[in-house]
Amino acid sequence: MSESQLTPALPARVGVLGGGRMGAGIAHAFLVKGADVLVVERDEQAAEAARERVESAAAKSIERGATDTNLDEMVSRLAVGVDYDALKDRQLVVEAVPEDWDLKVTALRGIEERLAEDACLASNTSSLSVNGLAKELRRPGNFLGLHFFNPVPASTLIEVVLGEHTSPGLAVEAKRWVEALGKTAVVVNDAPGFASSRLGVAIALEAMRMVEEGVASAEDIDNAMVLGYRHPTGPLRTTDIVGLDVRLGIAEYLHSTLGDRFAPPQILRDKVARGELGRKTGKGFFDWPS
Ligand SMILES: NC(=O)c1ccc[n+]([C@@H]2O[C@H](COP(=O)([O-])OP(=O)(O)OC[C@H]3O[C@@H](n4cnc5c(N)ncnc54)[C@H](O)[C@@H]3O)[C@@H](O)[C@H]2O)c1
């Protein structure tokens, strides 16, 4: 039976709070590289679902040869539960509960009070202010954003989001963790939309305004970016995949924080109002036959 070795630079004991779509992916990423991972969920039913998600991701990574270890060994390093107290021996905990301010603050405080003084705490928030969350904590120096992308196993990017009080040592260490996970870190000082959402949404909103003004069709605008700039997917098709409602929410947030250049175009508001939310509803800027 093959044995997994912890990849140097990674914490040996990692916790993940919330084992949904992202939390399960994050748990899996650390398991593949040899860490012991504890996932804490809100109730027994959610914990069971989280276990199934992580185990299924583990089985798939073994099938595609992403790791030398075997399923039994990998799963033996996974624990799933509902008790926050069990997180107390973790060296790093990544919070991945839903994107709700009060929920995140309660969750982060609940973890922090159980962790050792020198343990690190990260949030996978995709839009909330890391500085704002840090203000709610007692040890802001030990806190930062680790913004994983969906689906975690296929994505090679992690945004390391530094708050103004994140310790320089943690900033260096977090970059090493990302490399040890086989991914690339983009280091961002906390700002609305970090680097990825801000730039991705800016391009998408301009593409929508171009459709609105009749400059070119959605297909041709996307092809200009795919063929001319080697983007793997055009900004409008990406919007369809992400969901027009999700993009509208982010644009409204960036509009309120960064100003008029992020004002959502009327075409986006109209499509959302009509229920044309992209791939999930069968129609957005493109048609998505089931
Ligand atoms: N889905 C994406 O594409 C994506 C990408 C990057 C970042 N994010 C961010 O990741 C975070 C999680 O998103 P998701 O898509 O995985 O959500 P999700 O709804 O799939 O998962 C959230 C999980 O948290 C659990 N949970 C809820 N309250 C809890 C509590 N008090 N304690 C423990 N567990 C609790 C839920 O049971 C659920 O399993 C959000 O902050 C989101 O913005 C999401």
Where are the chain's structural domains? 3-189, 196-281
Q: What is the pLDDT along the chain (290 residues), one digit of tens a residue?
A: 355 788 889 999 999 999 999 999 999 999 999 999 999 999 999 999 999 999 999 999 999 888 888 999 999 999 999 999 999 999 999 999 998 999 999 999 999 999 999 999 999 999 899 999 999 999 999 999 999 998 999 999 999 999 999 999 999 999 999 999 999 999 999 999 999 999 999 999 999 999 999 999 999 999 999 999 999 999 999 999 999 999 999 999 999 999 999 999 999 999 999 999 999 999 999 999 98
Q: What are phi and psi of 92, to 5 degrees?
A: -145, 135
Alpha-carbon Rg of the chain, whole angstroms?
Answer: 20
pLDDT digits (tens, 9 = 90+) for 267-280: 999 999 999 999 99
The binding-site residues of ligand 1, defined as CB within 6 angstroms of any ligand atom, are 17-23, 40-42, 46, 50, 96-99, 103, 107, 124-126, 149-150
The atom number, within ligand 1, closest to the CA of 24 reads: 16
Q: How far is the CA of 151 from the centre of ligand 1 (A)?
A: 13
Which residues does residue 36 pair with via DSSP β-bridges, in sequence order?
Answer: 13
**Within 10 Å of residue 65's Cβ, how many Cβ atoms?**
7
196-281 placed in CATH 1.10.1040.10 = yes
Superfamily for domain range 3-189: NAD(P)-binding Rossmann-like Domain (3.40.50.720)
Pick the residue whose CA is nearest to atom 21 on ligand 1: 20
Spell out the residues 6+ positions from residue 84 whose beta carbon is closer than 8 angstroms to its own. Answer: 17, 40, 110, 111, 114
How many CB atoms sit inside 10 A of residue 209's CB? 15
Helix (H) or strand (E) run with residue 146 in it:
strand 143-148
Q: What would the two tokens of residue 83 be?
A: 């008790």
Task: Give me ligand 1 centre to Cα 18, in Å.
Answer: 6
Q: Against a cut of 0.75, is the pTM above it?
A: yes
